Amino acid sequence: MSQPPEAESIRLNRFLARAGLGSRRSVEGLIRDGRVKINGERITDLGRRVDPVKDIVEFDGERAIWPEVWRIFAFHKPVGVITSLRPQGRTPCLDLYASRADLPPGTVPIGRLDADTSGLLIWSNDGPLHQALCRPLSEVWKIYEVQLNRPLPADGETKIRKGEITLDGRPCLEARLRRLDQDGRRWEIAIHEGRNRQVRRMFMVVGVRVVGLHRTSVGGLDLGSLKPGAFRELDTDESTALRRKAGLTD
């Protein structure tokens, strides 16, 4: 298991990023908005430094944790659970999180799955892994099983494979497709970017609707036989392999 570097005085944005609150750049917005306190004092100075061991850093009133050890978990997200620690009115991952008191503080879901998507969701307190896996053009392949409302037309298949689908004014990267049934309603698709509702929208563009979506793999880590709602901690080899796939070496 990788260890965070020795604690020393570091910039506040770096601390918040390591605590899993976002990229170094995005957490600057949280500081500017006055949502961060050090030892009870509200901080808006982006240049402020922090001692990760001695100082108490809070974000929106909750302590931001400098992880002692980076730990990574696989979680089988059931359909109907929202990937957010602060959802409005529906079953949040937080309920499941609270039921797993042994998850270390600062452990959060990495990326999102739609409420109606099931499957593998990585959770970790590893801030750099979080940022690496959420980069829009990551080299990390994510594999989904897709159920369509009708067979995928041949020209749609070609467009998806060749990256000829445009979403939000930008072409998608090429995707890998594998047919899983005779009539072309069940497919496996692998993508290595992460736009909002990407898989559903890619199929919609070629005239078919996704009626079932399940993620089976992220960066070579397979969901395997993990039951819906269950967590499993990755062992050292799995953690190292996933971090390497994400381009992290330490």
Q: By the criterion CB under 6 A, which residues form the site for ligand URA?
A: 113-114, 117, 197-200, 213
Burial (CB < 10 A; 0-12, 13-18, 19+), residue 177, is middle
Q: Which of 51, 95, 102, 114 is catalytic?
A: 114
Q: Which is nearer to ligand URA, 79 or 230 (CB)?
A: 79
- Cβ proximity to ligand URA: between 71 and 77 the closer is 77
Token pair for residue 149? 């409302």
Nearer to ligand URA, 16 or 82 (CB): 82
Answer positive or negative: Cα dihedral of 116, 89, 226, 120.
positive
Measured distance CA(131)–CA(128) in Å, rounded: 5
Nearer to ligand URA, 64 or 213 (CB): 213
CA dihedral 45, 47, 49, 50 (to 10 degrees): 50
Distance CA 221, CA 234 (A): 9
Token pair belonging to 231: 């967590």
Known catalytic membership, residue 114: yes
Question: What is the separation, in whole angstroms, between the first and last Cα of the chain?
Answer: 10
Question: Please, what is the minimum distance in Å from the beta carbon of residue 114 to ligand URA?
Answer: 4
216 versus 240: smaller Cβ distance to ligand URA: 216
Residue type, 75: F
CB burial string 236-249: b at 16+ within 10 A, e below: eebbbebbebbebe
Minimal distance, residue 87 CB to ligand URA, in Å: 15
Maximal CA-CA distance, the chain: 63
Q: How far is the CB of 90 from ligand URA (least distance, A)?
A: 15
Nearest to 194 by CA among 218, 216, 211, 210: 218
Which residue stretches of 188-228 are H helix?
198-205
| 3 state SS of 208 | coil
* Closer residue to ligand URA, CB minimum distance, 198 or 239: 198
Closest approach of ligand URA to the CB of residue 195, in Å = 8
The residues annotated with a catalytic role in the active site are: 114
